[in-house]
Amino acid sequence: MTTPTPVHCQQCGGRLQPKVVDGRERMACPSCGAVAWQDPKLVAVALVERGGALLFVRRKMEPGAGLWALPGGYVDRGEPVEEAARREVLEETGLRIEVGPLLGLYSEAGNPVVLAVYLAQEVGGTLAPGAEVDALGFFPPHALPALAFPRDERVVQDWATRFLVPSRPK
């Protein structure tokens, strides 16, 4: 996933041009000097577990329409990350959650999206697809559906390694 390069200055509307700033080429305004910083986008993700399986949503929108993802979404400016996780899960699944500890932060070279992944506990609501999803399902780590975002598989593996007791052969 690449971030579109900005064309116009958000300060004065001038046309941006490449300029070396802090040792890297960035888009800057020759008129007012403003730099168009392309900061990473933070996504809050919540892992909701039932019986060793995690909740996934099937996306209706791009990117990844028709594929499955962990419930979550962008954190709004000024919004606490844990609140964003609660809001996104409610919007996408109809469930109210209590946000638990942070499982981890996930980033990739070249991808502007950083995931903050939290463990979560259901505390109410009714499981039902929200406006941006068309199906919901709980899947165990060994039987994941077709994923919209490859990073989700890494998140699931980290969760399974830390929290699932391996079954012993009989």
Per-residue pLDDT in tens (0 to 9) along the chain, 170 residues: 456 788 999 889 999 999 998 788 889 999 999 998 877 789 999 999 999 999 999 999 999 999 999 999 999 888 999 999 999 999 999 999 999 999 999 999 888 899 999 999 999 999 999 999 999 999 999 999 999 999 999 999 999 999 986 655 55
How far apart CA 96 and CA 91 sit, in angstroms, is 9
pTM of the model: 0.80
Domains and CATH numbers, the chain: 1-38 (2.20.70), 41-163 (3.90.79.10)
Return the SS3 of 32: coil
| 168 contact partners, CB below 8 Å, separation of at least 6 | none
